[in-house]
Amino acid sequence: MREVYRLKKGTLESTDIKLPIDFGLVYEDDGTFIVDVYINESFNLSEFSKRRYDEQDTTSFNCHCKTDKNNKIEITTLHFTMTVPYESKISMICYGSITHTELTDFPTTPDELTEEPHKLHYLELEGLKMTFTDVTEQIRARGGEKISDGKDLKRDHTRALLVAERFPYNQVFYKDSNSDNIIVEFPNNSNNTLLYKTFIELKRDYVSALSFLNGAEVKVRAEFTGYYYSVGKIDSQISITYSFKRVVNGRHNDYIPLRSHLNIGQNILNRFFIFSFDKYREWNKALDLNSIVFYLSNAEQSKGIEDRFFIQIIAFERLAAKYVDTLNEKEAFASDPEKFETVKGQILDVIERHKGIFGKHINSIKGRIGDLNIVRRKRTEEKFLSMIEDAKVDLTPDLENLVRVVRHNAIHKGEIGQADDIVKNCILLDQLLRDIILNLVEYERGNEKK
């Protein structure tokens, strides 16, 4: 656990009470922020603590303070873990974020710029692993002569254009010098810089799309915005750092080869963010693709193959349920309606000759014959097959068996088959879900297929 900030006077606030803070310390423990504050002795902390206990109050608090360097800090969604009234001390854990704002006078901001909306300068991403696509040339010289020994080029970053609502934004991905995290830089030297408020609007889709391409969870650890920023150092006037346990992905799904040498030629991030990101956002509104990516990421980290399979089944059920809500109620026919009329007449003749065995149900049986040619796409099995067909995924015998037999047995009987079958079905179901998403957003894997 390391100390991050020292707090001076400020307040600890909820919707109905404000506590005066004299001093505080902020620690970071495996990505999560721990906050200890010391309340002014004029406040009756003992009575306050007793009332919270009696009422079983679990209200969260926000902290507004200055740091020991006279900068502004806001800490959100704080929950009490311990109160020590005789020390005037409250210990808390942060489930939100810490916003740190520099209040120094340098650099001076012209008055005409103070009303401009903040731009996003950097992101710090956790959980993302990738092979970089672009190279940096390192100039080395000896005695005034350039050294050319083949070691002057280093593949250390990826340039990828982000197109959101058909507007392009430059972004550069590279590794953080102090950790395994990835930094995304949004260059400020062009007209298409990304506003921070715009990023917040598309943030969930952006992170979810990255998680999908990554084959494992990606989260934003920090955002850097404000009127000015540092060059050569990841910092800015305003930094927002999120509190959550450090993302450690034990496995990454490689169906999309972001970590393969194939990425060098394909630049997967660039292709996806240019041609497919807007489509992903549109489909997400209809199908909640973000939740499907969440399930896929969790399935990849599951401890056992059975856990993985059931998480994938839940994702499959959810995707199909969302998809069927987008379908029109138009009838689909299994065969040509005119040709079916001939078959229908023959079936009715047979039933009429044997109507005695149906008794009083004869008319009900006859009424059902007309429905034989109608494919009801919202029925349990048909909704899965309709989704697969509409997403232009080839319906192989294995896939049809997965929908009609394996899924049914898993949902209704709790049976998932033998070990070899489970592995096969897990792989099949994982690839099916990923192919559906890829096809919906019109991303062609092409030469990336292994």
Per-residue pLDDT tens over the stretch 119-147:
999 999 999 999 999 988 766 555 556 56
CATH class of 2-101: mainly beta
Peptide bond before residue 107 is cis, with ω within 30 degrees of 0: yes
Structure tokens at 166: 């058909």
Which pLDDT band, with edges at 50, 70 and 90, does 38 fall under? very high
Q: CA-CA distances (angstroms) from residue 157 to 250, 267, 269, 281, 298? A: 24, 11, 12, 26, 28
In this structure, what are the phi and psi dihedrals at residue 329, rounded to the nearest 5 degrees? -85, 15
Domain ranges of the chain: 2-101, 115-140+149-275, 297-448
Mean pLDDT over 276-283 rounds to 97
Mean pLDDT over 47-59 rounds to 89
Residue 112 pLDDT greater than 50, yes or no: no
Residue 355 pLDDT greater than 60, yes or no: yes
pLDDT digits (tens, 9 = 90+) for 317-354: 999 989 988 876 555 556 666 776 777 777 777 877 87
DSSP 322-389: HHHTTS----EESS-HHHHHHHHHHHHHHHHHTGGGTGGGHHHHHHHHGGGGEE-TTSHHHHHHHHHH
Q: Which of 268, 271, 289, 267 is nearest to 280 (CA)?
A: 289
Residue 423 pLDDT greater than 80, yes or no: yes
Query: Collapsing DSSP states into helix, strand and coil, what is residue 15?
Result: coil
Question: What does the CA dihedral 246, 247, 248, 252 come to, rounded to 10 degrees?
Answer: -170
Mean pLDDT over 48-68 rounds to 92
As a whole number of angstroms, the distance between CA 19 and CA 16 comes to: 10
Q: Report whether 62 contacts 76 (CB < 8 A).
A: yes
Res 375: pLDDT: 53
Mean pLDDT over 360-384 rounds to 65
Within a 10 A sphere around the Cβ of 311, how many other Cβ atoms? 21
Res 450: pLDDT: 47
Res 254: pLDDT: 95
Task: Give 3-state DSSP helix, strand, coil % of the chain, rounded to 5.
Answer: 40, 30, 30
Which pLDDT band, with edges at 50, 70 and 90, does 12 fall under? very high
**To the nearest whole percent, how much of the chain has pLDDT over 70?**
86
Residue 418 pLDDT greater than 90, yes or no: no
Res 329: pLDDT: 58
